[in-house]
């Protein structure tokens, strides 16, 4: 690079590393997509108003300390996916599994779920019954019960059929600490399976891909996989499920929270061939696509082998890979390496190529 080019590059880099800023007067689909715009809305609107340490931590679930010393995890998740049904699953499965996973990512075992429904006037009772049956199926499969609920009906046209908000309460066993602050250089980054399946399954259901492709949602409850992982690698530092914004968003959150560099090996990213083809055809990077049954874990190097073997022994972790490692520099960045191209910084997208996937 020449001097002038290098200077411009540095300016762009510095600009890019600013905290996200909200430049919009109205809410856009990007603000809900889990990328840079979502982060900006959070920083500009929600955190200043609700500001407290627990919320600022931006973990998947908040931890509440009881007088007994027990730690209760608490999370909430709105599901507004469209269409309501897609290959392998429906909004009902997503809503339940998503909340179980939010609890699992802080090491909690689920105690109970709540479900709030916002239903559009004129929505078919039979379709509602099917969604509720899917939720019940997902809850039963995970050994969790829905203990509280609420239903509101809005006018015709004032919802896309139905939106579901699930919240969850779980118990964190004594001694378990999942915290980005514990992440250290040389730690190993594991990914529990393939990327992009869920997002592409929804696009298939939207008719944006030709029918008949072998692409299905990966929605699954990850709490049992977490138990398996933590038994094999009790030193596990940190976990997060790679939902909205994909692995890129999770990596950036980790890099920022732990003030480390997350170095991902681009040659090791597992993507099913038909999903990869679909992503390529649509011009979407699978690193930015939402998954609904995949977790990223950071483990100490001396436990990485056992951790990976344990994941491989679980039905939801058979395709787990060692996908990268932690370095000290450049702090706050995700670096994607490739055997065939120069390293590149992997950013959050400003918006998302795929709105309303979850």
Near a copy of itself in 85-124, by CB under 8 A: 111-112, 114-124
Instruction: Identify which of residues 47 and 276 has a Cβ nearer to a copy of itself in the complex.
Output: 47
What does the H/E/C string look like for 307-351?
HHHHHHCCCCCCCCEEEEEEECCCCCCEEEECCCCCCEECCCCCC
The answer to whether the beta carbons of residues 205 and 357 sit under 8 Å apart is no
Subset of 338-357 contacting a copy of itself (CB under 8 A):
355-356
Span interacting with a copy of itself, options 63-71, 83-91, 254-262, 297-305, rule CB under 8 A? 63-71
Distance, in Å, from the CA atom of 303 to the CA atom of 233, rounded to the nearest integer, reads: 6
Q: Which CB sits closer to a copy of itself, 17 or 129?
A: 129
Only segment of 54-62, 175-183, 222-230, 286-294 that touches a copy of itself (CB under 8 A): 54-62
Using CB under 8 A, which residues numbered 18 to 37 contact a copy of itself? 22, 24-33
Q: Which of residues 115-174 bind a copy of itself (CB under 8 A)?
A: 115-126, 128-129, 132-133, 135-136, 139, 145-155, 157-160, 163, 165, 167, 169, 171
CB of 117 to a copy of itself, least distance (A): 7
Pairwise CA distance, residues 127 & 131, whole Å: 6
What is d(CA 258, CA 275) in angstroms, rounded to the nearest whole number? 31
What minimum distance in Å lies between the beta carbon of 151 and a copy of itself?
Answer: 6
- The first and second tokens of residue 355, run together, are 């709105």
Among 5, 15, 18, 49, binds a copy of itself (CB under 8 A): 49
Q: Which whole-number Å values give the CA distances from 252 to 68, 248, 323, in the listed order?
A: 35, 6, 15
For a copy of itself, which stretch binds (CB under 8 A), given 65-73, 251-259, 263-271, 281-289?
Answer: 65-73
In degrees, rounded to 5, the angle at the alpha carbon of residue 288 between the alpha carbons of residues 223 and 333 is 90
């Amino acid at each position: 690079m020449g001097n002038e080019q290098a200077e411009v590059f540095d300016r762009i880099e510095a600009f890019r590393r600013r905290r996200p800023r909200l430049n919009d007067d109205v809410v856009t689909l990007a603000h809900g997509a889990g990328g840079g715009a979502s982060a900006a809305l959070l920083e500009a609107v929600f955190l200043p108003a609700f500001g407290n340490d627990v919320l600022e931590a931006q973990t998947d679930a908040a931890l509440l300390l009881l007088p007994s010393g027990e730690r209760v995890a608490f999370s909430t998740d709105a599901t507004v996916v469209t269409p309501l049904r897609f290959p392998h699953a429906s909004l009902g499965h997503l809503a339940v599994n998503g909340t179980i996973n939010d609890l699992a990512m802080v090491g909690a075992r689920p105690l109970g779920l709540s479900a709030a429904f916002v239903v559009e006037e004129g929505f078919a009772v039979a379709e509602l019954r099917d969604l509720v049956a899917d939720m019940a199926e997902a809850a039963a499969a995970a050994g969790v019960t829905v203990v509280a609920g609420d239903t509101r009906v809005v006018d015709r046209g004032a919802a896309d059929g139905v939106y579901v908000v699930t919240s969850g309460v779980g118990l964190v066993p004594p001694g378990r600490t999942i915290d980005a602050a514990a992440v250290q250089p040389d730690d190993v980054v594991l990914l529990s399976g393939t990327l992009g399946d869920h997002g592409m399954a929804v696009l298939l259901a939207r008719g944006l891909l030709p029918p008949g492709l072998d692409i299905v949602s990966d929605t699954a409850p990850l709490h049992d996989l977490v138990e398996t992982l933590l038994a094999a690698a009790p030193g596990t530092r940190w976990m997060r499920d790679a939902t909205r914004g994909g692995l890129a968003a999770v990596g950036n959150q980790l890099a920022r929270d732990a003030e480390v560099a997350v170095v991902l090996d681009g040659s090791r990213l597992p993507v099913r061939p038909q999903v990869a083809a679909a992503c390529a055809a649509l011009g979407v990077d699978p690193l930015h696509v939402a998954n609904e049954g995949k977790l990223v874990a950071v483990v100490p190097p001396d436990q990485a082998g056992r951790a990976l073997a344990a994941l491989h022994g679980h039905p939801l972790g058979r395709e787990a890979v060692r996908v990268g490692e932690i370095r000290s520099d450049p702090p706050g960045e995700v670096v994607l390496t490739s055997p065939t191209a120069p390293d590149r910084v992997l950013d959050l997208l400003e918006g998302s190529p795929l709105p309303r996937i979850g």
